[in-house]
Structure 1
Amino acid sequence: MNGNITTQLIPSEDIFSIIPLLRVLNTKIPEQTLRQRLSEMVAQGYKCAGLYDDDKLIGICGLWILTKYYVGKHFEPDNMVILDEYRSKGLGKQLMAWVYAYAKSQDCIASELNCYLSNERGHTFWDKEGYKIIAHHYQRPIDS
């Protein structure tokens, strides 16, 4: 770590730069599929905060800003990941502090997220960030 750690929104034209970090989370989705989905996501309002060590992208946190009747305007951190060699250095907390400030600047009043059942490190992180489990997330394919 060089010590020059910064966080900023990744410009939509550079969104594919997050693919190597997404692959840390899931190696099974083909890159072309990721590119297609990211293009669709950006068109639907997806943004992504990038954590940089100088010019090297070392962490990401996707951002969705939504309004739901039961919570109001809120943000959803999505697929937050930091490269292995940068973990356990307080950088996840630093990235999320930037994300919370950004969400507040967008008039968000709360945050909700999904975390995979198998992601025990993620559970620990989100618990420390003050998140509470309030629901189950269900998923079902739509039959053709």
Structure 2
Amino acid sequence: MQLKELTTVEEMLAQIETIHFLYPKMTLEKYKSYLEQMLPHNYRQLAVFEDEICVGITGFWKGVKLWSGPYMEIDNFVVHPEHRKKGIGKIMTDYIDAKANELGSTMIVLDAYVENFTAHKFYYNQGFVPRGYHFLKIIKPEQLSS
């Protein structure tokens, strides 16, 4: 397996099929628009390839909060359904762990849907723990990707 850090819109757009496993309705135009807004804010993606096929992808970025200082956030963690249970998720979290350490982050954070128990189990096994609630107020539901 080959890991590659994606840093350009073009590299990321080429992996939209993998993103579709999480967001089946994501259009190329919407994906491009969001990426163009995210990249100036330290957004990157990590992709895992097997025989030139993207079998896993996650976004990540470094931010700073008053309570934590510098942190790394994982966003949109996707493993191709036919390649699950092969350690790809662990490969990605190990890479993000190393990257967060390299960049001086105090912690790694992520969101997981409350009903996604499979993801919860995976994240617990990777050393993540719930710290609080992520509240949201949806004001434009028609624009959501999921």
**Structure 1: 5+ residue runs without aligned partners?**
none
- For 2:56 and 2:136, how far apart are their aligned partners in 1? 27
Q: Which residue of 2 aligns with 1:54?
A: 51
Q: Which moved further from structure 2: 56-65 or 30-39?
A: 30-39
- Which of 7, 10, 17 lines up with 2:6 in the alignment? 10
Q: Which residue of 2 aligns with 1:124?
A: 121
- For 1:135 and 1:15, how far apart are their aligned partners in 2? 31
TM-score, normalised via structure 2 length:
0.87
**Structure 2: 5+ residue runs without aligned partners?**
141-146
C-alpha displacement of 1:142 = 4.6
In the TM superposition, structure 1's runs of 4+ consecutive aligned residues that sit over 2 Å from their partners are 28-31
C-alpha displacement of 1:109 = 2.0
C-alpha displacement of 1:100 = 1.0
Q: How many residues align?
A: 139
- CA RMSD between the two structures: 1.6
C-alpha displacement of 1:17 = 2.0
| 1:112 matched to 2:109 | yes
TM-score, normalised via structure 1 length:
0.88
Within 5 Å, give how 1:31-46 maps onto structure 2.
Answer: 31-46=28-43
Q: Deviations over 1:77-114 (max 9, x none)?
A: 11111101111011211121111111211111211110
Counting aligned pairs with the same residue, the percent is 24
